[in-house]
Amino acid sequence: MVSKRRVVVTGLGVISSIGIGKDEFWRGLLAGQSGISQISRFDTSNFDAKVGGEVKIFNPGDFFEAYEIEHLGRAAQFAIAAIELALKDAKLSSSAIAKQSSSLCLGTTMADAQAIESFDDLIIAGKCNGSAARRSILQYPSCMITAQAALRFHVKGRVVMLPTACAAGNYAIAYGSDLIRLKKADVVLAGGVDPFSRIAFTGFNRIFAVAPDRCQPFDRNRKGMIPGEGAAVLVLESLEHAQQRDALLYAEIRGYGTSCDAHHMTIPNVEGLVRVMRNALEDSHVPLDELDYISAHGTGTQANDRAESSAIMEIFGKRSVPIPVSSIKSMLGHTMGAASALEAVGCVLAVQHDRIPPTINFETPDPDCPIDCVPNVPRNSRVNIAMNNSFAFGGNNACVMFSKVEHS
């Protein structure tokens, strides 16, 4: 049985295409800033789509020595940088983490797949050697990201990488909250990471899921998703532990829900989406009329947005006041394993500031998506409780609930 131990968020670290750090990220969200640009990390001449949410403002030298940069893949760099920012925000040092009952839990989709891509390029160019092979082999496995991070920050508890695709960040946050509730840890670093991958970009293009220039969630004329990259890490603590050190309490994790569609590898199932949201509401003991905001999965594809809207309307359609629902993927693109972690940061900041980020690029309402998608401009609105939706390929769904911290 899970204890009544309460879990709070005390630190936020962000690497995104619209800003490094939580403050730049939040300003970008409220400004409706687009992080979509021409891709420069690999050649897109053979693709119809040529844009993505590339993080062009990240400088590894701000976080790593030269020798570290050479041996760390981009995913590991993003993850470690996000952890460092989150710990700094939480006013926790690595030495403090080493003395705590601490754990690390991240999620990803492709991990450092570009390590294999680079290795293949060297083979094709006839420049492969033993050193390059060893480096690629050590960078590629997803577990190496958390292993490198745990080593750097002296995390001595459970260290876990969850590869549940586009819901991985939420799964990691949910797992981390359980570790605290079950008294397996006092502090957990939880989030998600994914860098740009040519493999993933090719795959989404081959299934004709990529929009040509922009992401338009819930718009009638939406043309697909835009691939992106980034990382986000939340510092989770037990309420008692956070209060003992007089930490800033951003929000509380009220609960979460998970479900599996068992339906199709790529097509979402409304029944599964309804189930995961109801599971989250039940676990959090939140009545329907008390939920103030939904951070949508909102990829901008026809099938996903229609299914998510149908699920939301089935659960919340009888409310007297429509619930605000926005998708920040309209600004960031779909950052895969980092997506729900970045969206979790957006939820936490919405709860803290009582402001809801917009869904940009919205022009034409879709009768199949009859929701209040907070079009184009942010909204001042009381946000006591927020739901963060994430729905992954294979039907892996996870929703995490955040609320203001009520002092008992």
pLDDT per position as a tens digit, 356-376: 999 999 999 999 999 999 999
- The stretch 322-339 carries a mean pLDDT of 97
**Of 66-70, 133-137, 310-314, 339-343, minimum mean pLDDT range:** 133-137
- The mean per-residue pLDDT over the stretch 307-335 comes to 95
Q: Is the pLDDT reported for residue 257 higher than 60?
A: yes
Residue 84 reports pLDDT greater than 60? yes
As a whole number, mean pLDDT of residues 327-341 equals 97
Task: Flag whether pLDDT at 262 surpasses 80.
Answer: yes
Q: What is the share, in percent, of the chain residues with pLDDT greater than 90?
A: 75
Cβ(191)–Cβ(297) under 8 Å?
no
Average predicted confidence (pLDDT) for the chain: 92
Residues 6+ apart with CB under 8 A from 149: 76, 79, 80, 83, 104, 106, 155, 189
- Write the CB contacts of 388 (distance below 8 Å, at least 6 apart in sequence): 170, 295, 340, 343, 344, 347, 399, 400, 401, 402
Q: Report the CATH architecture of 256-403.
A: 3-Layer(aba) Sandwich (3.40)
- For the entire predicted model, the pTM comes to 0.94
User: Is the pLDDT confidence value at 131 over 70?
Assistant: no
Location of structure tokens 């909204």: 379
pLDDT recorded at residue 344: 98
pLDDT of residue 134: 58
Q: How many Cα atoms within 13 Å fall on the side-chain side of residue 122?
A: 16
Residue 140 pLDDT more than 80?
no
The pLDDT-based confidence of 194 (bands split at 50, 70, 90) is very high
Give me the active site residues, please: 166, 297, 334
Residue type, 210: V
Residue 407 amino acid letter: H
Taking only the tens place, the pLDDT of each residue in 118-129 is 555 555 556 555
User: Is 3.90.550.10 the CATH number for 7-244?
Assistant: no
pLDDT band at 85 (very low <50, low <70, confident <90, very high): very high
Least confident of 175-184, 199-208, 267-276: 199-208
Span 233-249, pLDDT tens digits: 999 999 999 999 999 99
pLDDT at 1 over 50: no
The fraction of the chain above a pLDDT of 70, given in percent, is: 92
pLDDT for 107 beyond 80: yes
| pLDDT tens for each residue of 158-173 | 999 999 989 999 999 9
pLDDT at 97: 87
**First-residue to last-residue Cα distance in the chain:** 22
Report how far apart, in Å, the C-alpha atoms of 133 and of each of 118, 127, 196 are: 10, 11, 21
State residue 395's pLDDT score. 84
pLDDT of amino acid 54 = 96
CATH 3.40.47.10 positions along the chain are 7-244, 256-403
Cα angle 33, 37, 41; round to 5: 135
